């Protein structure tokens, strides 16, 4: 596994971070609680991730109503892995105790997260999304207090625009921004990365496989597999429509076949070989799903090869 420093002064992170948003649900919405991975499946995925060299797990207080954090905590205790695995969690999303990024809410939620995780400190704490009702100075001030208290190692933001990231870096020292980024959603390159480069902020890409679309297992006009993320929460693509993405998949699969790798591996390698990306957050649903993701770490693509993939989905790019 390859490791990088997150931003100018953040923690060391593996190239692949295990996303745990499918544990017990599919992300934060209440209506998807109970529709994700079972506890046994989650434990198997965490075991496989650790065996594959992944040493950071990504979750949020809002995932499955806190169940994702709870199961990670139970796994850490059962496997005695608290010193081997770094955890990053988030605050601000909808929970049974409210949402938002006020100082009081952050203070209460970090304690709740630490209790569920069974740890005294998380390596990285992220604002799950902007909160326009709270001054960014209040949010960043609360994060700085948590760093001083030893409850978090560093902090960052997620789902932000370039302007919102700039405001955060003016108010404090975020080391990470976590936004969606994949072959079908490339907005981060133009908007965020100049700010990241100027301010020493690392970029971690979530949904690097477009919610499973870039695994190549889904076909246009065919029903999605029951219980799959595509069936429950199709990705919101920004550079292409879903129809356009499906039209591009056969060509992308053909290129992957030419490399002798699954499309999963090639599409994830495209993200990982981008110089603007520090790490990618992946959410395998099984050990078998994880294998081609791990292989992407060792697949080096040149700028020309990366450009070929973009051209395949957008001939005018």
Q: Which of the residues 3, 63, 181, 259 is marked catalytic? A: 63
Strands 176-180 and 16-19: unpaired
Residues 6+ away with beta carbon under 8 Å from 144: 155, 172, 173
Closest CA to 58 of 90, 26, 88, 97: 88
What is 122-177 written as a DSSP string?
EEEEEE-S--TTS-HHHHHHHHHHHHHHTSEEEEEEES--HHHHHHHHHHS---EE
- Read off φ and ψ for residue 22, nearest 5 degrees: -95, 0
Radius of gyration, CA atoms only, the chain: 19
Which residues lie closer than 8 Å to 145 by C-beta, 6 or more apart? 103, 107
Catalytic residue status for 125: no
User: For residues 196 and 204, is the Cβ–Cβ distance under 8 A?
Assistant: no
Q: Are strands 3-5 and 12-14 parallel, antiparallel or unpaired?
A: antiparallel
* Residues designated catalytic: 63
């Amino acid at each position: 596994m390859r490791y990088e420093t997150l931003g100018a002064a953040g923690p060391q992170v593996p190239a692949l971070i295990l996303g745990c948003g499918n544990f017990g649900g599919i992300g934060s919405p209440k209506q998807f609680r109970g529709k994700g991975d079972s506890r046994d499946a989650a434990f198997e995925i965490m075991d496989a991730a650790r065996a594959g060299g992944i040493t950071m797990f990504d979750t949020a207080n809002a995932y499955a109503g806190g169940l994702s954090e709870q199961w990670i905590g139970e796994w850490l205790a059962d496997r005695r892995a608290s010193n081997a695995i770094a955890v990053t969690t988030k605050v601000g999303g909808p929970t049974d105790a409210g949402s938002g990024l006020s100082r009081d809410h952050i203070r209460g939620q970090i304690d709740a997260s630490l209790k569920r995780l069974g740890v005294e400190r998380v390596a990285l704490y992220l604002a799950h999304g902007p909160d326009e009702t709270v001054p960014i100075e209040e949010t960043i001030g609360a994060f700085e207090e948590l760093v001083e208290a030893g409850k978090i190692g560093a902090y960052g933001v997620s789902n932000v625009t370039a302007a919102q990231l700039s405001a955060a870096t003016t108010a404090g020292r975020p080391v990470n921004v976590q936004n969606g980024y994949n072959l079908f959603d490339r907005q981060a390159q133009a908007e965020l990365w100049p700010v990241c480069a100027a301010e020493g902020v690392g970029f971690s890409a979530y949904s690097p496989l477009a919610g499973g679309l870039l695994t190549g297992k889904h076909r246009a006009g065919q029903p999605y597999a029951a219980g799959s993320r595509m069936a429950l929460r199709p990705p919101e693509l920004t550079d292409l429509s879903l129809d356009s993405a499906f039209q591009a998949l056969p060509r992308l699969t053909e290129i992957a076949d030419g490399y002798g790798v699954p499309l999963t591996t090639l599409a994830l390698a495209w993200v990982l070989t981008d110089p603007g990306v520090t790490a990618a957050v992946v959410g395998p649903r099984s050990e078998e799903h994880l294998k081609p993701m791990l292989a992407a770490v060792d697949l080096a693509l040149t700028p020309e090869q990366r450009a070929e993939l973009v051209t395949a989905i957008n001939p005018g790019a």
